[in-house]
Amino acid sequence: MSLVNHAPFSSLLRHLSLLVIWLLLWRLSVVMEYALHASIWFPPVALTFTAILFLGWRACITLSVACVLSTFWEEYIYDTNRNAQTLLIAGSTFALLHVGVYGIGARLLRTAISQITSYNLYSVVMRFLLVCAASTLIVSVTGTLVLYDGLQSPTLKETLIAWWIGDMSGMLVLTPIFIAMFQRWYPALNFLSGITFVPIVHTNDFPYSVKLLLSVMGLAVTSFAAYYFNSPEIACFVFFLAMPQMWIVYTESPLHAAISLALFGFSMAGLVAFLGIDTQAYIFQFALCVMACSTYFSMAVPALISDNNKLHQQAHYDGLTQALTRHSFFNTAEQLAKQAVRYHESMTLIVFDIDRFKHINDTYGHTVGDNMLKSVADVARYVCRESDLFGRFGGDEFLILLPNTPLESGVKVAEQIRKAVGSLSGPVEGVTVSCSFGVAPVLAVEGLDNAFEMADKQLLAAKKAGRNQVKWSQF
């Protein structure tokens, strides 16, 4: 029994689905026109952009056919008495412009994303917005000059702006939804897999459906009020509806935020078309674009916070042992020492290192040495209190600052760490792990530098005395 390869059929079915969805979106934009050839947005733009973003130029034939078919469908709707040849030329010109420019934009965005070194949502959002604004402007300018009466058009400015903002709002609002759709269709082409962030979720928050309802109700009230009073000033209140959208962004998943934005866009286009408030349409269009940009930047905030936390971690903590770096340790220790002087508190400094670490590192390799460093650091961190300061001076040498701790207690802490380290298993059989310690008080007069010098001398004394012991200085 032979196995049948269904891949070509599956690919054909997806391209057919792409064609049908594109045409349905085009028809929907026609239904939502508030004036002849004027709608709040043009949803097929987002589908074209996303299809080429994922499939490359393989999607161009399907999208071009859709553009030509939409031209014939437009003739059927408006009955402008153009012949088939004229329609074919107009459809092909539209396809070349629409698919060509948005295809180039999609490929530029994909290339730009692949070159991002610090991969986060903010980097992707910035590049997407730039490509979106530039590509929609090019299409609107070129299309107005080629498909209409060019510079002689009496409505050149109005046509150009309406085309630009309509395409841009459609791309801004619906591209994330289509990206989610294509990621399900083509999981192997998920080029955004590097972007991750966990949304802020409030357990006592309102249900998602309630938030959507409040957002749409606010839009409906604003739209009807603007229509009834014929007031552009009232229409401007639509910008305040960014607040419920931001509420959704900060309390729901990114997919839920994208769905709410798409629903808001469809509702806005439908209400403007139904009420026929064409004189205020630009206000709603700009509000939709602003809301989309705000949504994406707000979604990027958790990613930026995550990046900042990582940078802080790298700057202040040793990557191997997770102890404070030398610079960070002494900066924080200086502040604690000043505080101790102010409140007349005792403070103790411990300096220790691993006995014969260089020999172990050279004999058994750096991997064994690194594991030993991590194990010793874990032991020291376990013994220390949360208020204690634990840092890595360099190599195998560590520092511990014990606030509000007299010298005698500091010596006991050092002994506790020494015994705990001694119970660790060695890197290989027959090799034991041990540490030598130097302990000194942080005196108000001499300060931290003098305490480090005294503790370091005691560490050398412990080494000379046979290692694996604690030495301390009274002065």
**Model pLDDT for residues 107-128, shown as the tens digit of each residue:** 999 888 877 665 567 778 889 9
Q: Which residue has the higher pLDDT, 161 or 223?
A: 223
| Distances from the Cα of 107 to the Cα of 50, 53, 57, 135, angstroms | 10, 6, 9, 12
What pLDDT shows up at residue 354? 95
SS3 324: strand
This prediction has a pTM of 0.66
The answer to whether 216 and 264 have CB atoms below 8 angstroms apart is yes
Closest to 105 measured CA to CA, from 55, 49, 62: 49
Q: What is the pLDDT of residues 374-388, one digit of tens each?
A: 999 999 999 999 999
Q: Is the pLDDT score of 63 beyond 90?
A: yes
Task: Map tokens 């839920």 to a residue.
Answer: 256
- Locate the domains of the chain by residue range: 7-314, 326-472
Strand partners, 352: 398, 437
CB atoms within 10 A of CB 287: 24
Considering only CA atoms, give the Rg of the chain. Answer: 34
Question: What is the 8-class DSSP label of residue 59?
Answer: G
- Residue 301 CA, distance from chain mean position: 7
Catalytic residue ranges: 396
- Residue 224 CA, distance from chain mean position: 37
Query: Residue 199: enclosing H or E segment and its boundaries?
Result: none
What pLDDT shows up at residue 189? 62
Q: Is the pLDDT score of 216 beyond 60?
A: yes
Mean pLDDT of 92-103: 95
**Tokens in use for 298?**
């707000």
Cα(253)–Cα(261) distance, integer angstroms:
13
What confidence tier does 203 reach under pLDDT thresholds 50, 70, 90?
A: low
**Tokens in use for 355?**
């006995």
Q: Is the pLDDT score of 341 beyond 50?
A: yes
Closest to 421 measured CA to CA, from 409, 411, 434, 410: 434
Cα(357)–Cα(396) distance, integer angstroms:
7
Region class of 81: left (phi > 0), else alpha (psi between -120 and 50), else beta: left
**Architecture of the CATH domain 326-472:** 2-Layer Sandwich (3.30)
Buried (b) or exposed (e) across 294-333, using 16+ Cβ within 10 A? bbbbbbbebbeeebeeeeeeeeebbeebebbbeebbbeeb
What stretches of 317-391 show up as alpha helix (H) in DSSP?
A: 326-342, 357-364, 366-383
Cα(133)–Cα(129) distance, integer angstroms:
6
Q: What is the pLDDT of residues 438-470, one digit of tens each?
A: 999 998 667 889 999 999 999 999 999 999 999
Cα(248)–Cα(264) distance, integer angstroms:
12
Query: Residue 192: enclosing H or E segment and its boundaries?
Result: none
Closest to 96 measured CA to CA, from 139, 153, 132: 139
Cα(460)–Cα(167) distance, integer angstroms:
73
Q: What is the 3-state secondary structure (H, E, C) of 116-183?
A: CCCCCHHHHHHHHHHHHHHHHHHHHHHHHHHHCCHHHCCCHHHHHHHHHHHHHHHHHHHHHHHHHHHH
Amino acid at 286: F
What confidence tier does 205 reach under pLDDT thresholds 50, 70, 90?
A: confident
What pLDDT shows up at residue 151? 62
- Residue 328 CA, distance from chain mean position: 28
Question: What is the 8-class DSSP label of residue 370?
Answer: H
